Chain A
Amino acid sequence: MEITTWLRAACADADTRGLTGLKPLLEALALSTARLREADVEHRRADGDGERRP
C-alpha cells in the first residue's frame, strides 16, 4: 500500500474512532515509514537482491 493512501485511511479511521490526537502521530509515522522503505530498497539494491524480484 502506498504511504499516502495508508495515511489517508489511517487518519479517517482515527477520526471515526474519536482519536483526533492520533493524527499528528500518524503523520510522523508516515515519514518514518517512508525512511524505512527507502532504507529497505537501498539495502536490497546493495545486495543485488532486487534482480530476483518481479
Chain B
Amino acid sequence: MSVSPADLRSITTLAPLIARGEVSPTDLVRGCLGRIDARRELNAFITVMADEALAEARQAEREIAQGRVRGPLHGVPVSVKDLIDVAGIPTTSGSAVPPIEPCADAALVARLREAGAIIIGKTNLHEFAFGTTSDETAFGAVRNPFDPSRSAGGSSSGAAVALVEGMCFGAIGTDTGGSIRIPAAACGVVGLKPTYGEVSCDGVVPLSRTCDHAGPLTRTVADARLMFDALTGRRPDSRQAPRPLTFGVPRGYLLARLESEVRRTLAGARSRLAGAGHRLVDIDIPSAHITPDVYLHIVLPEASHYHASTLASHAERYSPGVRLRLEMGRYVLAEDYLRAMDLKGRLTAQVDRALDGCDALLLPALAIPAPPLGASSVDIEGSPEPVRAAMLRLTQLFNLTGHPAIAIPAGSTSAGLPVGMQLVGRRADTAALLDIAEAVAPQIVGGAGSVGGGTG
C-alpha cells in the first residue's frame, strides 16, 4: 500500500472537508489502519485501536451529519505515545515491565476526545522515554522511513513515523530533553514543545516531573496550533506575527559542533530569513555549556525515584541500558540535585535575557541527521561524540528553562535524511511562537514543502 498525497493532507486542509461531509472519518480511519498494517516493519505502533477508532469515526460521522461539528479535530485520526494513559488500553511505556492498566484517560487525551479527535492507537517509543534513539524498546526498534537502517530519533519516534507514513493526521508525544523535537527533526515533521506546564502531564508516565512536557507532532505549523489549542482548551486566536522579525542565533556551546550538512542547512535558513527582510543577531547564553550536567543531576534522580519500586521487583525486565541509567540516578546526592535546581533557575534567566530584543531564537533541532540504529557514537566535524549527547545538545536546555520550542522541517541532506530547525519563544507565550513559526516556515523549509509530506 503506497502513501498518496491525499493520505498526507494536513488537518487544516481536511477539517472543512470533514465538516461539509465531503470526507468521511470512517474512510480516514480505514486508510490509516491500512497504512499501519502495510508498514509494520517500521514498528511505529504498539497498540492499534482499530475497533474503537472505527466506532468513534461512525459516531463522529453521525454528529457531523446532524450539524454538530465540534471543531477542526472532529473526525480526525490521531495517535498517542504509549506513555500516556488511554482508558482501557495498557500503557506499556515501550517496556517489558508490567504495564499500567488505566481506567481513565490522561487529561490531554480527554481534551482531544472533547475536540472530537479519534484515537487510532498508541505509538512506540524509547523505553520509558529514557533515550533518543528508540532502539531500546520491548516492541522492536523504531525505524526511520527515510532509511530503515537508521533511528527515527526519540523518544517519541513512533509518533513521527506515523505522520510520515500517513498512519494518522496528528500525533501526541512527550519531551523531557527533546523527545518531541528530535524525532520531528529526524523524520521531517513539525514538533511543538509548549511552555512548561501548559499541556497537562496528568496521566502521563513521568521521566522527570521537572522537565516533562507534552505536545503535538504534526505535518504543518498550522496543524500544531490546532492541536495545541485542543490540548490546552485555548480559544483559537491566530495573529499576524510582526514584521520584520528578529531572530537570536546562539554563539558558543550550542552551535560549536554541528554535522556539516546541518550547519549548511542553518546557513541556508539564515540567508533566506535575511533575504525576506528579517534580522538575525548573535546572542549569548553564557552558561549553556553546563546544560548536560544540570540536566543529568535533575533527570536521573527524578527518574530513579519514580522507578524505585519497579526496579526492586522487575529489574531484569528493563532494557540493560535503561536499567543502568535508572540505577545511576540512585547515587546522585541531594545536595547536587539542589545545586542543579539552582543552576536551572540561572539558565532560565539567561535564556530570558537572550530573548530580550528578539522575537525568537533560531538554531537546529538536531546537530546530526538520524544516526544508524545501534550506533553509540557519531563523528562530528572529524571527532567522535556519544550519540545521546549529540542528539540532546540543542534541545535539553529548553526543557530545563521551560521555554516553548518548535522543530520545523528545513530540507534534507545529500543522502535524503531530513534536517530540522528549531525556534524558541518567550515563556508562557507559545501562541506567539506559533505565529512566528507559521510566518517564517516557508523561509526555513526553503520552498520544498514539509519533508514529512504535509500537503497544505
Contact = CB atoms under 8 A, between A and B. Distances in A.
Interface in A1-52: 1, 6, 10, 13-14, 19, 21-22, 25-26, 29, 32-33, 35-37, 39-40, 43
A1 B333 contact: yes
A21 B320 contact: yes
A23 to B, nearest CB: 10
Contacts of A1: 333, 335
Interface residues of A, number: 19
B325 A36 contact: no
B320 A29 contact: no
Interface residues of B, number: 23
Interface in B309-329: 320, 324-325, 327-328
B327 A40 contact: no
B327 A19 contact: yes
Given A1-B333, A33-B336, A43 B343 contact: yes
B332 to A, nearest CB: 7
B65 to A, nearest CB: 58
A25 B328 CA distance: 7
- Among B294, B296, B331, residue most surrounded by chain A Cβ atoms (within 10 Å): B331
B237 interface: no
Contacts of B294: 36, 39
B343 A40 contact: yes
A10 B290 contact: no
B324 A22 contact: yes
Contacts of A25: 324-325, 328
Contacts of B339: 36-37, 40
- Among B292, B324, B343, residue most surrounded by chain A Cβ atoms (within 10 Å): B324
B225 interface: no
Interface string B331-363: 111011001101100100000000000000000
B427 to A, nearest CB: 21
- Among B290, B292, B293, residue most surrounded by chain A Cβ atoms (within 10 Å): B293
A35 B293 contact: yes
Interface in B176-213: none
Given A21-B324, A22-B324, A29 B340 contact: no
B322 to A, nearest CB: 12
Contacts of A6: 331, 333
Interface string B373-411: 000000000000000000000000000000000000000
Nearest to B342: A40
Nearest to B295: A32
B81 interface: no
Interface of A: 1, 6, 10, 13-14, 19, 21-22, 25-26, 29, 32-33, 35-37, 39-40, 43
Given A21-B324, A32-B296, 5 more contacts: A22-B324, A22-B328, A25-B328, A36-B290, A36-B293
30 contacts: A6-B331, A10-B331, A13-B331, A19-B324, A22-B328, A25-B324, A25-B325, A26-B331, A29-B296, A29-B331, A32-B292, A32-B297, A33-B293, A33-B297, A33-B332, A33-B333, A35-B290, A35-B293, A36-B297, A36-B336, A36-B343, A39-B287, A39-B293, A39-B294, A39-B343, A40-B342, A40-B343, A43-B287, A43-B342, A43-B343
Give 3 nearest A-B pairs by CB, closest first: A36-B293, A10-B331, A40-B339
